[in-house]
Amino acid sequence: MPSEEIEPGDNAQNATTPQPRRSFFTVPPPIKRLFDKFPLLTYPANELPLRAPRNRHQHALYIFTTTAGATKGAPSYNPSCLKWQTYLKFSQLEFRVVSSNNHASPSGALPFLLPSSPDISKPLEPVSSDKLQKWALNNGGAAVEEPSDLRYEAYLSLLDHRIRRAWLYSLYLTSNFTSIAESLYVLPTSSNSLVRLAIAYELRAAAEAELLKHSTIVNAESLYEDAKEAFGALETVLGDDEWFFGAEKPGLFDASVFAYTHLLLDDGLGKGWAESRLQNIVMQRGKLVAHRGRILAAYYPSA
């Protein structure tokens, strides 16, 4: 019972020296004083990692190119990428070039374009290559008008069929594969030699399968003859005009022709053309060589 008597006494003592009622959660004053000193120093926000996307205000065209080529805006080493890269330059759109590969593309094939969006939180849909022309017309500054020549489609099929097949054969199924395709398409993809070997095999098999779609036998002579005839026809239709079909300004057709002629005439492609038969065919066509030179000088001054 004495303990009971003491307790009221304690209470009385507390009451005489009134203190603010402390809850369980209140920080004890010494610790609070210590923590009041924090933070001792506020650092500035960390920078974004190097690979974080920047330049969101610019359209980005994803193409096959080297890292150095991407910063310089050099021409791509892939014909269909170079065609659209050149076309976008014709339409005077501001865009930057990003080095990429087929796995990055939503459609499975390069090129594609990631449009800049005013609102970063709502990115726009990527534009695949078959819709690039329409997109450029809707968003472009200078409209590139296409000549309404009735032969336009026919001459385009020369490029897409005859010349493309000779290109596929020459690049993938001759010694050019070692000197050009290997260093451009195979070596950058992986550092593992077995993976590289598998990719090289797949590339060649795909090229062969594509060529076998249109004939049961891939005959080099007839492919080169067809390409020779096609380049001859293209030179004839260009004639003495500056651009194809007598247009005022270069258009998609000029870009398509340039995509092949430039790469065939470019000695710095890979390690150079080891089997130069297709290159010689183009070299004999002086007007096409001049046409390529005009575009290169006006739109790729750094290259």
Q: What is the longest distance spanned by two Cα atoms in the chain?
A: 123
Provide, rounded to whole angstroms, the least separation between the CB of residue 303 and other proteins. 21
86: left (phi over 0), alpha (psi -120 to 50) or beta: alpha
Is 77 a binder of other proteins (CB under 8 A)? Answer: no
User: Does 276 sit near other proteins (CB under 8 A)?
Assistant: yes
Q: CA torsion sign, 160 to 275 to 87 to 121? A: positive
One DSSP character per residue, 34-90 reads HHHT--S-PPPPPPPPTTS---TTSEEEEES--HHHHHHTPPPSSHHHHHHHHHHHH
Rounded to a whole number of angstroms, the minimum distance from the CB of residue 237 to other proteins is 5
C-beta of 86 vs 170, nearer to other proteins: 170
Cβ-count burial of 66 within 10 angstroms (0-12 exposed, 13-18 middle, 19+ buried)? middle
# residues contacting other proteins (CB under 8 A): 54
Q: What is the amino acid identity at position 227?
A: A
Q: Please give the DSSP secondary-structure letter assigned to residue 275.
A: S
Answer for which of 132, 136, 168, 230 binds other proteins (CB under 8 A) is 230
What angle, 0 to 180 degrees and rounded to 10, lies between the N-to-C axes of helices 79-90 and 132-139? 20
- Answer yes or no whether residue 181 interacts with other proteins by CB under 8 A: no
Residue bearing tokens 């009735």: 150
Report the distance separating Cα 93 and Cα 143, nearest Å.
10
> Contact with other proteins (CB under 8 A): which of 15, 213, 268, 286?
213
Helix (H, G, I), strand (E, B) or coil at 301: coil
State the nearest-atom distance from the C-beta of 49 to other proteins, in Å: 32
Here's the x/- map for other proteins, 113-152, by CB under 8 A: it reads as -------------------------------------xx-
Sole window of 90-98, 109-117, 118-126, 178-186 interacting with other proteins (rule: CB under 8 A)? 178-186
Residue at 59: amino acid letter? H
- Sole binder of other proteins in the list 3, 16, 138, 193 (CB under 8 A): 193
Is 274 a binding residue for other proteins by CB under 8 A? The answer is: yes
Stretch 236-265 residues interacting with other proteins (CB under 8 A): 236-237
Using rule CB under 8 A, residue 174 touches other proteins: yes
Region binding other proteins by CB under 8 A among candidate stretches 57-65, 98-106, 124-132, 234-242: 234-242
Interacting residues toward other proteins by CB under 8 A = 150-151, 153-155, 157-158, 160-162, 173-175, 178-179, 182-183, 186-187, 193-194, 196-197, 200, 208, 212-222, 224-226, 229-230, 232-234, 236-237, 271-277, 280
